[in-house]
Amino acid sequence: MSHTANRESGVGDHGDVGIKTFVDQHECVQKCVALNLEALKTLENEGHAEEEEEEEESG
């Protein structure tokens, strides 16, 4: 199952809600570590920080 922003991957694609749910519920396991993937929670927090910086610059 995959989730896409435009909900075009087929049955079970819950769009942004599905993506957010996956990120909120995901816990990294051995495969994530073996692939040297950065924790989703870290990436999510960085995204919010970048958005805040953009708002300050334009504000």
Which pLDDT tens digit goes with each residue over 14-34? 999 998 888 888 888 899 889
Residue 2 included in any domain:
no
| Across 33-56, average pLDDT | 68
The domain in which residue 36 lies consists of 15-58
Q: What is the mean pLDDT of the chain?
A: 78
Residue 6 included in any domain:
no
Residue 22 included in any domain:
yes
pLDDT of res. 31:
92
pLDDT of res. 48:
54
* CB within 8 Å of 13: residues ≥ 6 apart: 1, 2, 3, 4, 7
Residue 51 included in any domain:
yes
Q: Against a cut of 0.75, is the pTM above it?
A: no
The domain total for the chain is 1
% of the chain residues with pLDDT over 90: 15
Q: Residue type for 49, please?
A: A
Residue 5 included in any domain:
no
Q: Residue type for 41, please?
A: K
